């Protein structure tokens, strides 16, 4: 319904009512004011006129949603106009000193407006309160759903650090929202072989979390089907390309630790470079590759690289998402890679879990009162002697 469709009947009705009422008032007021039938017709015209005009102006001011239903509003305007007319009738019948019949007309309009105004305020307030209650209920429902989703997602992460002789392993993921798109996992492929996985789905929230759960199943399946991280990533990319929204992509790093061969094979698809510390000396792990889901096959396969790194005594590996290095403080400054390198240099003798906690503490301390804007996920793997164990 357009503005003209709303306004036209009200304007015509109001003008007609005023003309007819004024003519009857100044010619023979007893003709219309004394009889209930004529009073009802007059009140009806006033009611529909005022209520229609309110709808017209509310629509122009973009406030139509705050106006109560036309039927309820019109009844109150009609009641006010009718009562005003009947009071005028009583005054005439009592033969009081009320000779100015124009005042009776204004009195009728005034009461109609008062009754209608009270109705408008009442229904508008009731509508607002009802909407606020519905919004609170909806928010509570959404919160409960997100809490449930968070519990389900946390259940997808490893419940405990895996046991592999010669390795101290720890992982953690802290979502920025109730659920997130970061993912880490450990896939046990034998008593001395384990695959560490860290991935980051573009975006945050529920959509990223759904992609994350889909990726997890693909990784676990590929890990048991293929021998190398590169083969795993190539297969995962082929499978996920058709099912991934073109605006989304996934970065991932796979690290296959083989304690029998004393080496780790690392392959990353557009992900942050891993960090390696050997006796306190730190360097970034090279090896290129593009993100998953950006290209179906040939280009992805030609750009992705796999590197081999020997596992020496007290070798420390850190794989993480950009939510750590890009953590922001109140001044919109980023934490950066140097801060993480500093934590590793000062804590490399500690256990994997303690190193992990040191990094989380550094991130939280740097962020201060600023909100967490991205998921924080990392995996720490440290080579240890079987006698040393975890400290």
Regarding whether 222 and 197 lie in a shared domain, the answer is yes
For residue 18 the two structure tokens come to: 């005023």
Q: How many Å apart are CA 102 and CA 111, to the nearest integer?
A: 14
Per-residue pLDDT tens digits for 33-48: 444 455 555 555 555 5
Give me the mean pLDDT over the 72-85 stretch: 57
Q: What is the pLDDT of the chain when averaged over all its residues?
A: 76
Regarding whether 162 and 133 lie in a shared domain, the answer is no
Domain that includes residue 133, residue range: 3-143
Residue 356 has a pLDDT of: 95
Domain containing residue 364: CATH number: 3.60.40.10
Regarding whether 278 and 225 lie in a shared domain, the answer is yes
Residue 211 has a pLDDT of: 78
The pair phi, psi for residue 156, each rounded to 5°, is -80, -25
Residue 108 has a pLDDT of: 56
Which three-class secondary structure state does DSSP give residue 24? helix
Residues shown for the chain: 391
Residue 254 located in a structural domain: yes
Whether 388 shows a pLDDT value over 80: the answer reads: no
The pLDDT confidence band at residue 141, using thresholds 50, 70 and 90, is confident
Q: How many domains does the chain have?
A: 2
Residue 33 has a pLDDT of: 46
Regarding whether 187 and 49 lie in a shared domain, the answer is no
For residue 134 the two structure tokens come to: 């519905």
Regarding whether 221 and 300 lie in a shared domain, the answer is yes
Residue 31 has a pLDDT of: 45
| Greater model confidence, 312 or 51 | 312
Q: How many Å apart are CA 348 and CA 352, to the nearest integer?
A: 9
Residue 357 located in a structural domain: yes
The H or E element that residue 168 is part of is strand 167-174
Regarding whether 198 and 134 lie in a shared domain, the answer is no
Residues β-bridged to residue 187: 195
Give me the mean pLDDT over the 192-208 stretch: 83
Residue 118 located in a structural domain: yes
Tell me the DSSP string of 148-177.
Answer: HHHHHHHHHS-SS---BTTEEEEEEEE-SS
Cβ contacts of 321 within 8 Å, gap of 6 or more = 182, 198, 199, 200, 251, 271, 272, 374, 375, 376, 377, 378
Nearest residue to 254 via CA among 285, 295, 208:
285
Strands 306-310 and 281-284: unpaired
Q: Which of 182-196, 230-244, 315-329, 376-390 has the lowest mean pLDDT?
A: 376-390
Whether 324 shows a pLDDT value over 90: the answer reads: yes
Residue 388 located in a structural domain: no
The H or E element that residue 172 is part of is strand 167-174
């Amino acid at each position: 319904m357009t503005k003209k469709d709303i306004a036209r009947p009200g304007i015509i009705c109001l003008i007609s009512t005023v003309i007819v009422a004024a003519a009857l008032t100044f010619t023979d007021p007893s003709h219309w004011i004394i009889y209930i039938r004529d009073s009802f017709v007059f009140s009806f015209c006033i009611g529909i006129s005022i209520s229609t005009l309110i709808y017209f102006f509310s629509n122009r001011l973009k406030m139509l949603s705050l106006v109560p239903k036309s039927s309820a509003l019109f009844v109150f305007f009609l009641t006010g106009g009718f009562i005003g007319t009947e009071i005028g009738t009583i005054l005439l019948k009592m033969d009081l000193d009320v000779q100015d019949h124009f005042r009776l007309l204004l009195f009728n309009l005034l009461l109609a407006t008062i009754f209608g105004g009270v109705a408008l305020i009442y229904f508008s307030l009731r509508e607002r309160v009802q909407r606020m209650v519905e919004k609170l209920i909806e928010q509570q429902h959404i919160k409960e759903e997100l809490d449930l989703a968070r519990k389900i997602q946390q259940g997808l992460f490893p419940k405990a650090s895996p046991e592999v002789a010669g390795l101290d392993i720890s992982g953690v993921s802290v979502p920025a929202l109730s659920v997130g798109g970061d993912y880490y996992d450990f896939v046990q492929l034998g008593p001395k072989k384990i695959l560490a996985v860290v991935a980051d789905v573009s975006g945050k929230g529920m959509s990223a979390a759904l992609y994350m759960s889909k990726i997890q199943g693909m990784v676990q399946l590929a890990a048991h089907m293929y021998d190398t991280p590169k083969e795993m990533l190539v297969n995962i990319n082929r499978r996920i390309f058709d099912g991934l929204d073109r605006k989304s992509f996934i970065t991932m790093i796979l690290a296959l630790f083989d304690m029998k061969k004393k080496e780790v094979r690392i392959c990353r698809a557009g992900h942050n470079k891993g960090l390696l510390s050997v006796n306190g000396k730190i360097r970034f792990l090279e090896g290129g590759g593009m993100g998953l889901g950006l290209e179906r096959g040939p280009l992805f396969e030609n750009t992705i690289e796999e590197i081999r790194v020997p596992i020496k005594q007290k070798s420390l590996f850190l794989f993480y998402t950009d939510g750590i290095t890009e953590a922001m403080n109140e001044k919109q400054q980023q934490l950066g890679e140097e801060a993480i390198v500093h934590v590793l240099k000062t804590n490399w003798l500690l256990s994997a879990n303690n190193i992990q906690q040191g990094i989380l503490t550094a991130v939280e301390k740097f962020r201060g009162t600023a909100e967490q804007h991205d998921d924080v996920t990392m995996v720490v793997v440290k080579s240890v002697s079987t006698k040393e164990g975890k400290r």
